[in-house]
Amino acid sequence: MTTENGMGWANSALPRAIVDRLGEPTSLDELADGLEVTDARVLWYLERLESAGFVVEAGGRWRRTERGGELLSRQPSQVDDVTVQPGHTVYDFVQAHADAAAGMFGETYVQLGGEHGGRLSHAQADEFQRRLRALIDEYFAPDKGDRSGTKYGLHWVFTPTDLHPLDDDPAL
């Protein structure tokens, strides 16, 4: 999301949470721990928030400015700032579990869900994306399945979720 001044990012959840926690001077580590994200990610936003005049740093401690308080008093955008999953994705997920529990698919169905996270290099992420795409194409491309079988759906998201911690040695 962008705004006229190009700072629409300041209305998203994490920057607002950072500003909200800075009523009292707070260290980068305290912020990162409290928000449960890496210090690198918090620092990335702190630097932008400081440039925009929402926060200031002194002696390794950050606090919000008057302008930062004004940011919190404004309602964030409820439309432009949110990525919405297509309604059918949520419906399919919820309904499939209900249908399976009700016995619709008998005893011969496969159902899997989960959430995974891990640190990957760009090359690993690219390879994973390519291999996953190939597997999806192998099973879900037109005329690849068995028309007499049960129809399965696959909804997935593969996206970065955080940065590498600043003081964590990547060689370890």
Q: How confident is the model at residue 45 (pLDDT cuts 50, 70, 90)?
A: very high
Q: Is residue 26 part of a domain?
A: yes
pTM given for the model = 0.65
Domain, as residue range, for 16: 8-73
User: Do 62 and 16 share a structural domain?
Assistant: yes
Instruction: Give per-residue pLDDT as tens, 72-127.
Output: 888 765 444 455 666 677 777 778 888 888 888 888 888 877 788 888 999 999 99
What count of residues does the chain have?
172
Residue % of the chain over a pLDDT of 90 = 41
Q: Is residue 3 part of a domain?
A: no
Query: Nearest to residue 70, comparing CAs of 51, 55, 48?
Result: 55
- For residue 67, give the CATH number of its domain: 1.10.10.10
User: Do 109 and 48 share a structural domain?
Assistant: no
State whether residue 61 is helix, strand or coil: strand
CA gap 151, 148 in Å, rounded: 9
Q: How confident is the model at residue 15 (pLDDT cuts 50, 70, 90)?
A: very high
CA gap 63, 23 in Å, rounded: 6
Q: What is the CA radius of gyration of the chain?
A: 22
| Structural domains counted in the chain | 2
Q: How confident is the model at residue 145 (pLDDT cuts 50, 70, 90)?
A: confident
> Cα-Cα-Cα-Cα dihedral of 117, 7, 28, 39, to 10°?
20
